Amino acid sequence: MRRPSAFALSAIAAALALTACGSNGGSDPTPEPTADGGQAVCDEPTIRSAVQADFEANYPGSTFVALDDFRCEGGWAMANAEFEASGSTFPTVVFLRAEGQFWVPTTIEEICAKPQAESGVPADMYVAACGTE
């Protein structure tokens, strides 16, 4: 379990590393294929639910505030969100990977554990998480 202050620092670092992020929040859900042949739907309610569940489960003392935008590519999603901790609101970037029909939160440490070419993470999402390719 991570303390909100440590999370805030890594979230701010990830947000600063992020150079651009489009929204895939249109009215037509976009399925994202996964390695096991399932599909995770890439739409605003599904991504919002996954991000909010991550905050509730892993960051006690913080509150999910908003999903600003998100995009999905190749079984991965990157969401710009806001959370509140200790009376302040912080921007953050949440990374998700598709597992079957579900989006599973993934830490920056998990993403950056391998070089981009070996990770399977789309290059721009990898750079947003790790700061380099």
CA distances from 59 to 52, 115, 123 (A): 10, 28, 28
Kindly state the tokens that stand for 65.
């505030």
For residue range 30-47, list pLDDT tens digits in order. 555 444 445 899 999 999
Rounded Cα–Cα distance for residues 106 and 56 (Å): 15
118 Cβ partners below 8 Å, 6+ apart? none
Assessment of whether the complete model's pTM goes beyond 0.75: no
What is the reported pLDDT for 83? 94
Answer yes or no: is pLDDT of 18 > 90.
Answer: no
Place of tokens 């070419």: 117
For residue range 61-105, list pLDDT tens digits in order. 889 999 999 999 999 999 999 999 999 999 999 999 999 999 999
> Per-domain residue ranges for the chain?
4-130
Sign of CA dihedral 40, 45, 49, 50: positive
Rounded Cα–Cα distance for residues 133 and 124 (Å): 9
Rounded Cα–Cα distance for residues 111 and 43 (Å): 22
Residue of 2 and 82 predicted with greater confidence: 82
Fold category of 4-130 in CATH: Nuclear Transport Factor 2; Chain: A, (3.10.450)
Answer yes or no: is pLDDT of 131 > 70.
Answer: yes
Residue of 81 and 4 predicted with greater confidence: 81
Kindly state the tokens that stand for 101.
């029909």
For residue range 51-64, list pLDDT tens digits in order. 999 988 888 888 99
